Structure formats: structure tokens, C-alpha cells
Chain A
Amino acid sequence: MTFDPSYKEQALKSVGTRVLRPDGVDKVTGRARYGADFNMPGQLVARVLRSPHAHARIIRLDTSQAEALKGVKAVVTAADLPDLTDGDTALFAILDNSMARSKAKYDGHAVAAVAAINASVARAAMKLIEVEYEVLPHVVDVDAAVAPDAPLLDDTIFTTGVDPAPTKPSNVANRSEFGHGDVDAGFAKSDVIIERTYKTEQTHQGYIEPHACVANCNADGTADLWVCTQGHFVYRQVCADLLGLDVSKLRVTSSEIGGGFGGKTHVWAEPVALALSRKAGRPVKLVMTREEVFRASGPTSATSIDVKLGATMDGTITSALATLRYTSGPYADAWAETGAMTSFACYDLENVKAIGYEVVVNRPKVAAYRAPSAPMAAFAVESAIDELADAIDMNSVELRIKNAAQEGTRSSYGPVYGPIGIGPTLDAAKAHPHMSAPLGKNQGRGMACGFWFNFGGQTCSDLNIGADGTVTIAVGTVDVGGSRASLSLIAAEELGIPYEHVKAIVADTSSLGYNDMTDGSRGTFSSSMATISAARNAIKTLRERAAMMWEIPVEDVNWEEGFAKAAGPKHGNRAPLSIKDIAAEAGNTGGPIAGHSELVADGAGVSFGTHICDVEVDPETGSTRVIRYTVIQDAGKAVHPAYVEGQYQGGAVQGIGWALNEEYVYGEDGRLQNPGFLDYRIPVCSDLPMIDTQILEIPNPNHPYGVRGVGETSIVPPLAAVANAVSDAMNVRMTHIPVSPPRILAALNAQAKE
């Protein structure tokens, strides 16, 4: 039976309620087990030696003294992780990043690792490893890296996507371009042109739980990995490829995850832990320190973005052009390309062009961070839109509404949109009381829109019905923020049973088929699709069993609200059979009752949000407080509204932190100066007001209940919303994120001198 994912309007009993999450008690009592909370008998402790240089050739690496230290059971270097990547550049980047081969490419790049009987022996062993470096010139700044005389990171990188192909290597890995129309003609038609360059600094996802795993490689070729990850099936594949293990023999169990936000979609030190265990013949626990998390796990890109907008005095944007330069760390990727695709996605533009340049620098390998690449592009574009509104003396929400994309608009990244939600979020913003609330002295208001692609992907679910009629569902998407609750609601809805009768778990890689990661806002979207499909398969079996019990044809059995009901007058007044009744007889009607589903959830549908932000700026110190914040976003259908609100609030606050405080600070020596939560300051409770949310529900046509992904879009608008609010409060345009106190004071001083 093929699964029909199309939306059908129906009254819902469970979906949309605010039930208690199934993992709640474990998490409030300290019993939930995260990455570092697992231990194995005979386990060793791992520590990783990291480069103190931003860019250095490894001339000599001598581990003999460390190996000789009592209590040391294994030391590994790149030689213990031979290159099995067979020309796959993305896989090679993961390998080289996990353990530097010939060159250390950033401050914090791993060069060797130790497994010892305890942490103090491991630390002592690290000091005995001799590394001779030839320090090379480095570059960390995105604009400096594209300069013709910049130090070269990799002489095999020749910019792709340019014609003619370059003859010399450079730090620009690729050029990408999107758009349509004729931007020059569009600018010629405009009355007003806004042209500015914006910069955003590198930020970290800032999950509170550092990367942690326990690896165990057995002599018989089997292996286990307990790890905090957003995608244990993907980790299994990558680690098996890099270690040369059979996929089916590596069992990966995802622990509870203490935050990921994209940063735990990438493999970091797990291959090293497995290599240590393989060499030592014992289980190895590897937990990163916070400093290692900042120095050596992936931050987002730092960017430099030029935006040019042209418009007529009636507010029609006649032309839009953006040139986006994104850092990717030392390895080429597609972060600038993603930024270019998203930059103008909110608008209906006749002439638009976005050009992306991917720039390699001596910083950690960039990782996905919640709607990766979109927030920076939105900061630049939404700031320019705000400035354009000022220039033509038009209300900025009206300007956005006038130019908003709608069904039938050709998107700036290519395809024509189906039904989309940007218009409704703008209308809701315009009507929101926040928009017209009075502002005091030194206060300002900003708004911004944001866009993100959502994903679906490969997904499985097993639904088993117990002898008492209660139900377990096993899913393969890691629960990062309450999806076990939402998926239990979905199963309860479909089967017609109470939520409390369903228990959802995340299965390990040996217990369920392959699942893509929890990324791209896909967790609830795609696993709910698989769960609905599995429940419908189980209902088919339940009807068959009821028919058997009644000795009537299965066609005469309907499933209604949790009961099998005999249809038609010839079956008399049979009392309906509950799941419990049917399950109790399962042993005599063909065995256990279950529903399974393996599918590709596709057609997730793009997502839009609009945010409104009020700030108060202290002109003496440049310190900024957010005093009111409103998030408006389309959820399609909010399965568990409290956790949808939580996604909106959490994403908004991460964006606020990015806008106001957070940045990687590098010294002249290319070393990270603030690898800790004291100096890399994320928002704390006393920094913030309540975050108001408004959930719009415009059903996704490609999901039975209309669900869309909700997790990522909320981080896209805040950078611009905050910067626009600060600009409004101070009457000075802020073009460099974060708008930290020194930058605000510098802008105010520059303004005073004019």
C-alpha cells in the first residue's frame, strides 16, 4: 500500500494539544543520559592534542615517549586513520579535520590523540608528544583572504564556477550565481538606489553539551558507538567509511542530546575515538572540553556582503543585487551558495542577482547552524530594505508587503513558488499591537523577514502494539526538542487512542532502517509522516484481526476512533472491539500486531517568518537591551504548540545573541582569543524579555495534517530586526554584526563628527 501524504482537512483530537513530554521526568530528575553519561567496563579516557598555530606544516611528530608512559594504552595520529575516502572530497575534509595530515589548518586542529587509564595520565602523555611545526602565514578574515596577496591555504583550490577557469590557485573555492531579469536595466529604472557593505562575525551554535562519545572496537570487527549526535545513522556511515568497518557491524546509539542546532550533524572526533579503541583494544570515552568545542567544532561562516537595491518612489523594488563572501574554514563547501539562494527569497523581484563566493580561511571547519547561511544574508538584505524604506519615506512593513513574494512569484533562487506564507506573516505583523506600541527615549523598533528551505528525507518508523493495547513507536530521528511528544500525539491521533497509551523512543542503528539526520527542520515533519504511515499499516492489520475474531470479511470492518466496528446490518449489533480487545487475542489471530513504514518524506515546503524587535540603547555605554520581541511564523500545523513556540523563542534568542554579542575574536597570531562562555557571551536570562509568539497555520499540502518544519526559520530575521531597531533608536545605520557596545559607540562618535 503506497502512502498518500497529501493534506486532508479533518478535526483533530490529539494533535494540537499541549501534553506532557514523555522524556520529561527523566530530564527533571537528572536521570536522562547524555553523551558523557555513559560508561563501559574497562573504559579508557581520551584526550586530543591540538595545534597552537593557525597554519603550520607538521615537520615531525614523535609519540614514542607518550606511548612509553605507564597507563597509556594508545596514541593515534593521522597514520592511524589512513585515507580511505577514494576521491570523495567532502569525506576527506571530515577525515583531515578529525586529524591533521600534513598541515594544521587552524588553531585547535587535532594533530594526535591519547587513550589512557585516566584523565591525568592522558594529560601527562599529551605533554610528551613532540610536534615540530613550520609555521606558515595565515589568514582568518574573509575580505583579507580574497585579496590577491593573501596567504594561500590550499594550492589545489582553483575557483570553480568562473569562466575562463583560473590558472592560479586562490582562497576562493567557488563562485555561484542565482537570479533572473536584467539588474542593470532595473537600476536604470529606479529613482533611489541603496548600496552598502555589511559584515557578520563568526558565531558558534553554543549547545551546552560538549561533544561526547564512547567508542568500542572489538577484535572481531564489530564496534559500538554511544554518542550525542543529530544523526546516528549518518555518523555510522561516515565512521564506517573512514575506519573501513562494515556498516552493519557498527552499532551507533544516540544519547540524549544536549543541543545541536546543526553542529551535531557533522562528524568531529568520533573517528578518532574509534581509532583509539581499535588500537588499544578497549572502550574509549572522548569528551571535548568547552575550549575544544569552540576551537575545533564547527562555527558558522563569517561574512562580508554587498547589497544594492533600486526602487521607484512608489516602493516598487526594480532591481536587487547582492555579492556574498562566506568563510568555510579550511575546506571548500557550499555556504556562500546557500546564502546567495536565500538572500532575496522573501521578495517578488523582476530583476535580481545574487553571487556567492566561498572563501577558505584558517578557522575551524564551518558547520551548519540553524538555517545555515540564511541569517547573514537576511541581515544584509533586510537592513538595506529598511534603509530603502527611509529613503523613499515609506513605512517599512508596507514596503515589504508591496514587494513580498506570493504564489506564482519566481523565487530569486529559481523556481516559481506554490502557496507560501510570507504575505500572511507580514499582514499579521502589520496588525500586531506590538507594531503600534509607543516607544520611549533611546528606544527603537525594527522588523525583518526570514526564509528557509525545509527538508524531508529518508525516514523509518516501527509501531508495535502491546498485549494490553498500548503502543510503542521507534523512530530514527534524534529528538532535539520534544519530537517524541509530537510523534506520540501523531500516533495517538491516527490510531484513535489516548496520548498516554503511546510511548516513543529513538532506536539505535541496529534496530531500525536508515534515517537521515534531524536537520533541515525535518524531525517532526518526516518522522510524523512515517508514523502516520506505520499507524495506517497497523490499522489494516487490526481490522484483519477483528474480522478474524468476528469471522466476517475484513471489508466489513471499519476503524473508527480507536475501535474496530462491524459495518452493515447483517453483522448485527456487535460491540466494537478496542485495540486492547484485539491485542489480547493477537496470539491466536496471527501473532504480534505492528505497523512499519520506510519512506521518503519529501515536499517539506519552504518557510517564512517575520519578527518585530524593540530595543533600548544606552548612548553612554553603547549597551543594548531588547525590551520587546515578537515572532510570527507559519507552522503549517502546530502538532505540539508549546514546543513550536519553544522553537520560535529559542531561534529568536540565538539570533539576538548573534546580533548583539556573539563573535569569534582572533588575535594577530590567528589564535582564537575567546574560547569559553565567559568571553563568548551567549544571552542569559536577565538579558531578555518574554518572547511573544504568533503561530500561523497555513496547511502544507504535502503532509496529511498540514505540518511544516518549524525549527530553523526563527533564527533568520533577528540579526536584521535587532540591527534595524538599534539603527532606529540611534538614527545611525549599523552594518556590522554583532552590534556590540564598542561598535555602537564608534558609530555614534562617527555620527557626532559629521
Chain B
Amino acid sequence: MTSISVSTTINGDDVEFLCNVDETLLDVLRNRLGLMGAKEGCGTGDCGACSTIMDGRVVCSCLVLGAETQGREVETIEGMSDGRELHPLQVKFIEHAALQCGICTPGFLMAAKALLAAHPDPSEEEIRFWLAGNLCRCTGYDKIVRAVQDAAAEMRGANA
């Protein structure tokens, strides 16, 4: 199989990689670039555990081909914290016990980050619908919603 050469931006860095035509962004991140934070829960775009942000939109990286990222900007969980300083969403997820097993957490954080970028003051209903593409089997979502509400409030305060 002939490989394709791809130039893209991941977490602000220029990245070049070779991939096969049938390789997904998730495969590329995990198997070629060593970015294992995105998880494969289903491979069919149903669980959201592989959520990343591409050009500002949340995508399931299992549904994006690696080759499609040519010239795009991709954000993954590995780029969420600023060095040692965690993003407010990361802090609030820990504080609110919004994770148990944690396998869905990177995907939820990506989706929540995109939500707060679009809606800095979301209602509970908006949060619940924005996060409806991410499955969590441990928490029943209660503490996840509360963590996002709290992070949103803190980020609004910081920006005020």
C-alpha cells in the first residue's frame, strides 16, 4: 500500500507523518505519533472516547482519515494543559470526582473545551446535549455536568 505524506498542526506544533490511505486520525495519533490519550472505544463514532478538536470542531478521530488532516489544526488531550498548569476543566474534573475509570475523560474534556469556547455560560441542558456524543458508563454524568458548570463559571470569572 502506498503511503501518503501529510503535513498538519497538532497542539500548535508542525507535524509531518506518512500514513496509509485507510488509516484513521486515531490510528495515526496512537500508532505513529505516540499520542495515546485518545482512546478507541468503538471505532464507529458512537462513543466519543477518541474525541479531538479539528479546526475548532469536535470530531471523532476514528471517523477522520489521517490524510484528511493535511493543512488542518488538530488539538488533542495532550495539548490541553499549559505545561504543568492544568486547564480549568481538567482541574474541575478531578475536584468534582467527574471520572471513575477515566477512559472517557480525554474525550469529555475535548468536547467540553469546544462547548465552552462556543458557549461560555451554558445551561445544564446545553451541557447535556453538547456532551451527548460522549459515553460514560461509570458516573451517570452527574458529576461531569457539575464539573463543566464549575469550570465554566471559573473561566468566565477569569475572563471578566
Contacts and interface: CB of A to CB of B under 8 A. Distances in A.
Query: Are any A and B Cβ atoms less than 8 Å apart in their complex?
Result: yes
Interface of A: 18, 20-21, 23-25, 27-34, 36-37, 120, 205-210, 256-261, 287, 289-290, 480-482, 640, 642-643, 645-646, 649-650, 652-654, 676-678, 682-688, 690-691
Interface stretch (B2-10, B64-72, B91-99): B91-99
B38 to A, nearest CB: 7
7 contacts: A20-B95, A34-B103, A289-B43, A290-B42, A646-B139, A682-B137, A685-B131
A653 B42 contact: no
B92 to A, nearest CB: 9
- B76, B94, B134, B142 — which one has the most chain A CB atoms within 10 A of its CB? B142
Given A23-B102, A120-B1, A258-B102, A650 B137 contact: yes
Contact of A652 (B39, B103, B140): B140
A723 B136 CA distance: 23
B119 to A, nearest CB: 15
A208 B49 contact: yes
Contacts of A29: 37, 77-78, 80-81, 86, 90
DSSP majority for the A interface?
Answer: loop
Contact of A30 (B37, B40, B132): B37
Contacts of B36: 30, 33, 37
B46 A480 contact: no
Contact of B137 (A23, A30, A206): A206
Nearest to B96: A642
Contacts of A30: 35-38, 76-78, 106
A652 B141 CA distance: 11
A676 B62 CA distance: 15
Contact of A32 (B80, B102, B136): B102
Nearest to A290: B42
Interface in B116-156: 125, 127-129, 131-146
Interface of B: 1, 20, 35-44, 46-47, 49, 76-78, 80-81, 86, 90, 93-97, 99-106, 109, 125, 127-129, 131-146
A208 B140 contact: no
A691 B146 CA distance: 11
Contacts of A27: 99, 102, 105
B138 A31 contact: no
A208 B100 contact: no
Most buried by A among B35, B44, B78, B129: B44
Contact of A209 (B20, B78, B101): B101
B135 A677 contact: yes
A28 B104 contact: no
B41 A209 contact: yes
Nearest to B94: A24
B51 to A, nearest CB: 11
A261 B103 CA distance: 14
Contacts of A676: 42, 44, 46
Residue in B39, B40, B100, B140 whose Cβ sees the most chain A Cβ within 10 Å? B140
A682 B105 CA distance: 17
A163 to B, nearest CB: 44
A454 to B, nearest CB: 19
A650 B97 CA distance: 12
Contact of B140 (A31, A205, A649): A649
Given A30-B76, A678-B46, A691 B132 contact: no
Contacts of A258: 39, 41, 101-104
Which residue, of A29, A260, A652, A682, has the highest number of chain B Cβ atoms within 10 A?
Answer: A29
A655 B77 CA distance: 31
Contact of B138 (A33, A120, A650): A650
Contact of B141 (A25, A290, A653): A653
A208 B94 contact: no
A159 B81 CA distance: 60
A104 B94 CA distance: 46
A640 B94 CA distance: 13
B47 A208 contact: yes
A208 B86 contact: no
B143 A646 contact: yes
Contact of A25 (B94, B97, B145): B94
Q: Which 5 pairs show the lowest CB-CB distances between chains A and B? A: A30-B37, A258-B103, A653-B140, A27-B102, A649-B140
Contacts of B144: 685
A28 B90 contact: yes
Given A21-B97, A34-B103, 11 more contacts: A21-B94, A24-B93, A30-B106, A33-B36, A37-B36, A259-B101, A481-B138, A646-B138, A649-B142, A654-B140, A685-B134
A638 to B, nearest CB: 12
Contact of A208 (B95, B104, B127, B143): B104
A741 B146 CA distance: 30
Contacts of B43: 289-290
Contact of A28 (B35, B109, B136, B140): B109
Contact of B39 (A208, A482, A650): A208
Given A259-B137, A642-B97, A677 B102 contact: no
Contacts of B103: 34, 207-209, 256, 258-259
Contacts of B145: 685, 690
Contacts of A28: 77, 80, 86, 90, 93-94, 99, 102, 105-106, 109
Contacts of A34: 39, 103
A289 B40 CA distance: 9
A356 B142 CA distance: 37
Given A209-B39, A649-B142, A685-B141, A18 B136 contact: no
B99 A685 contact: no
A297 B68 CA distance: 34
A62 B108 CA distance: 45
